[in-house]
Amino acid sequence: MAEDSYRPRDGESGALAGIRVIDLTIARAGPTCVRQLADLGAEVIRISAPGRPDLPGSDSHNLHRNKRSIVLDLKQEKAREVLYRLVESADVFVENFRSGVKRRLAVDYPTLSGINPRLVYASLSGFGQDGPYAERPALDQIIQGMSGLMSVTGPPGGGPWRAGIAISDTAAGTFLAQGVLAALYARERTGRGQWVHTSLFEALVNFMDFQAARWLVEGEVPAQAGNDHPTLFPMGLFATRDGHINIAALSDWTRFLAAIEAPELADDPRFCDFGARIRHKEALRELVEARLGERGTEEWLDRLAAAEIVCGPVLSVDETFADPQARHLNLTRTVNHRVDGAMELLRHPVTLTDTPTGIRSAPPLPGADTRAILVEQGYSEAEINQLLATQAAAEAE
């Protein structure tokens, strides 16, 4: 692979160039979906409601780059007419209202697909589009608890623990973006759009993955395992003389023992195979950490890496971005925000050699593009001024 594979190419056309997305999402999960489409090159027009602030600070900057912004009060008929005109030429419409809200606002799938049958209409909810919980509001931590995630996170016997990120928002937004891409591909064959939807609940239950499979296939209810792998050992976090190190010593057991200068453990019947090592994991942990305690983390990282043992340090977020591999991968891009100035934002983590992802612009202020977008849709200056006067539309201050 070329040395400059990870150089910024933000000015080049992405894979979704020519695709127009109408973004009617709020909070984090829906915007996560749209952000991925924007990073892949789609043109995004974000519709904000008047008087409704974005998530503050870094959260908003992270979610809303690569977009243009118009403010519309969709409770007003004239504002909905603007939306409908935008939908006529759109490829994708993304929303995360509860079912009853989008019907009351007349922005539901039957209404918009009637205007544009080629429209891919994407919905994200807390619990799904119907069912006993369909109208319930939901947030990430609620879903972490209901999905089973909190029951397998944290130290054994420690009670429920949340993950340190809004993982259901990220999961649901990513799955919805995948669904949109699949629906766009299907449209190439059929000429028709379709309704694509997922929920925080569906997405995070799916993210339970092998833990869910343990229950579904084997009838085993997974328990908390702390910093150990739930089913393999030694694979987890171990103490050193001056800190901690993550180690996975599975198929290279004897090489691992040689690296930590404990070859005698190879003949110990308590540790003769995978099953034995799991059954006697606490005894094994004590013996391993006794050797690891003789040296510092950096020295162990060097010794284990030289022996080709899978291992790694435990970094704080600032240390992650200072890591040599992170710097080589150019994980961030610098943009200039109209109010907050220069800032670094996370880039999309997928590299496409011919149609690169990119961050082309900082997040806009709500309504920054209202007038320009209305002109593009054929509104006269008098009509625009009337929309602004009646507050059916608004501009950034």
pLDDT at 2: 53
- Name the residue with tokens 């892949």: 40
Pairing verdict, β 92-95 and 20-24: parallel
For the segment 184-239, what is each residue's pLDDT rounded down to a tens digit? Answer: 999 999 999 999 999 999 999 999 999 999 999 999 999 999 999 999 999 999 99
Contacts of 324 (CB under 8 A, 6+ apart): none
Give the whole-angstrom CA distance, residue 291 versus residue 55.
48
Does the pLDDT value for residue 1 go beyond 60? Answer: no
Q: What is the pLDDT of residue 115?
A: 98
Start-end of CATH 3.30.1540.10 domains in the chain: 235-315
The span from the CA of 276 to the CA of 218, in Å, is 20
Token code pair at residue 367:
């309504």
pLDDT at 52: 81
> Which residue stretches of the chain are H helix?
29-39, 57-63, 77-88, 99-104, 109-115, 140-146, 149-152, 167-190, 200-207, 209-218, 253-259, 274-279, 281-292, 297-306, 317-322, 324-328, 370-376, 381-389
How far is residue 278's CA from residue 100's CA, in Å, rounded to a whole number?
Answer: 51
| 100: confidence class by pLDDT, cuts 50, 70, 90 | confident
The share of the chain scoring above pLDDT 70, in percent, equals 99
Token couple for 327: 């710097």
Q: What is the per-residue pLDDT for 26? A: 93
Whats the size of the chain, residue-wise? 397
Question: Looking at residue 53, what is its pLDDT?
Answer: 76
The per-residue pLDDT of the chain, averaged, comes to: 96
Q: What is the pLDDT of residues 109-130, one digit of tens each?
A: 999 999 999 999 999 999 999 9
Sign of the alpha-carbon dihedral angle for 151, 154, 160, 162: negative
- pLDDT band (50, 70, 90) for residue 55: confident
**What is the distance between the alpha carbons of residues 373 and 69, in angstroms, rounded to a whole number?**
8
User: Do residues 224 and 150 make contact, with C-beta atoms less than 8 angstroms apart?
Assistant: no
The CATH number of the structural domain formed by 235-315 is 3.30.1540.10
pLDDT, position 5: 86
**Model pLDDT, residue 252:** 87
How many other CB atoms sit within 10 Å of the CB of residue 143?
27
Q: Is residue 343 classed as helix, strand or coil in its secondary structure?
A: strand
Q: What is the pLDDT of residue 76?
A: 97
Q: Give the per-residue pLDDT at 93.
A: 98
Q: Which CATH topology does 20-210+328-394 take?
A: Rossmann fold (3.40.50)
Could you say which of 229, 280, 328, 348 is catalytic? Answer: 229
Q: In the prediction, which pLDDT does 344 show?
A: 96
Q: What pLDDT sits at residue 187?
A: 98
Range(s) of the chain covered by CATH 3.40.50.10540: 20-210+328-394
pLDDT band at residue 3, thresholds of 50, 70 and 90?
low
pLDDT beyond 90 at 268: yes
Q: Are 372 and 77 in contact (CB under 8 A)?
A: no
Question: Quick one: pLDDT band at residue 273, thresholds 50, 70, 90?
Answer: very high
> With 0-12 CB in 10 A as exposed, 13-18 as middle and 19+ as buried, what is 263?
exposed
* 328 catalytic residue (yes or no): no
Which one, of 265, 362, 389, 348, lies nearest residue 39 by Cα?
A: 348
Alpha-helix runs per DSSP H in 13-98: 29-39, 57-63, 77-88
pLDDT score for 207: 98
Report which of residues 56 and 253 the model is more confident about: 253
Q: Per-residue pLDDT for 162 more than 60? A: yes
pLDDT tens digits along 294-349 = 999 999 999 999 999 999 999 999 999 999 999 999 999 999 999 999 999 999 99
